[in-house]
Amino acid sequence: MKASVGVLALSLVLGVQSASAQAIPRLSDGRPDMNGIWQVLNEANYDLEPHLARHSMQMREGPVNPVPAIPTLRLGAVGAVPGSLGVIVGGGKIPYTPEARALKEENAANWVDRDPEVKCYMPGVPRATYIPMPFQIIQSEKDFFLAYQFAGAVRDIYMDNPGPSQVDSWMGWSVGSWEGDTLVVDVTGLLDGTWLDRAGSHHSNQMHVVERYTMMGPNHIDYEATIEDPLVLTEPFTIKMPLYRRMEENARLMDFRCVEFVEELLFGEWRRTPLPR
């Protein structure tokens, strides 16, 4: 009797797995079809690490407890940080060296002046994935392309390895390959001007990222990114999160010309007659 129950349970599990595999859309070559508009639903862009909710993205010492810093004070609840269990596999913090950890904390204390997102710089990898805006995957049997709403960033995933990058760039140099149904993307050539989140998590120009995209069903992709950086990390670490398909009718990327939105911030002081700041 017990053996029969065990066989039945195994059959049900295999049946569910088989149904899930069949539900994954595929191209003519049998590869998973990831074409579509995708977006995360988490707090990773605030802070990859586990954290409690706090008053503001930039804090200062108060008479008893920390309070919002003056530049973010008038944002009120809009500038507050929601709590999160983090997205680092195994929990815990980014394995920074002591010097790199000190710089992360210094960055957080000067968030409004230092975060590249504030200035509309390209978000870099892996941050582009979990910026709270959608991105689009454009895929064929031979090509894989990523377009992001934020800052109009784009990435061409080279499926035929052209060799190493000749120059560093904001979005890096991405070379893809398939491991079964998982797209593995090796990313190098990244400038050190991007952050990993709004909490000051930085990296050097030696950062190396390996991304893994695995379809879990027609509307979900399991995303992993393993980050190694010998200049600031004591060991590699991995982040993991689901990507969700945007399901609304006519889902598409919209214009977000944030370069224009930050002109006054970056160049307003150079007006002939500067406006109040």
**Each residue's pLDDT tens digit, 181-233:** 999 999 999 999 999 999 999 999 999 999 999 999 999 999 999 999 999 99
pLDDT at 229: 98
Q: What is the distance between the alpha carbons of residues 125 and 29, in angstroms, rounded to a whole number? A: 28
Q: Mark out the alpha helices in the chain (DSSP H runs).
A: 2-23, 98-109, 111-114, 127-130, 258-261, 263-267
Tell me the backbone φ, ψ of residue 22, rounded to 5 degrees. -70, -25
Q: What is the CATH number of the domain that holds 33?
A: 2.40.128.20
Tell me the backbone φ, ψ of residue 54, rounded to 5 degrees. -140, 165
Q: What is the pLDDT of residues 32-47, one digit of tens each?
A: 999 999 999 999 999 9
| 56 lies in some domain | no
Print burial letters for 152-187: b (CB count within 10 Å at least 16), e (below 16).
Answer: ebebebbbeeeeeeeeeebbbbbbbeeeeeebbbbb
pLDDT at 3: 57
Q: Provide the domain limits for residue 178.
A: 25-51+80-249
Chain mean position to CA 113: 21
Which residue(s) pair with 158 in the sheet? 175
pLDDT at 21: 55
* Beta carbons within 8 Å of 54's beta carbon, 6+ residues apart: 66, 80, 81
| 12 lies in some domain | no
Closest CA to 26 of 15, 18, 16, 34: 34
| 85 lies in some domain | yes
* Beta carbons within 8 Å of 16's beta carbon, 6+ residues apart: none
pLDDT at 6: 57
pLDDT at 9: 56
Total structural domains in the chain? 1
Closest CA to 58 of 111, 107, 6: 111
Q: What is the distance between the alpha carbons of residues 118 and 265, in angstroms, rounded to a whole number? A: 9
Contact predicate 171/122, CB 8 Å: yes
pLDDT at 260: 87
| 264 lies in some domain | no
Contact predicate 210/68, CB 8 Å: no
Closest CA to 194 of 230, 151, 163: 151
Closest CA to 122 of 179, 170, 56, 187: 170
pLDDT at 8: 56
For the chain, residues with pLDDT lower than 50 are: 16, 18
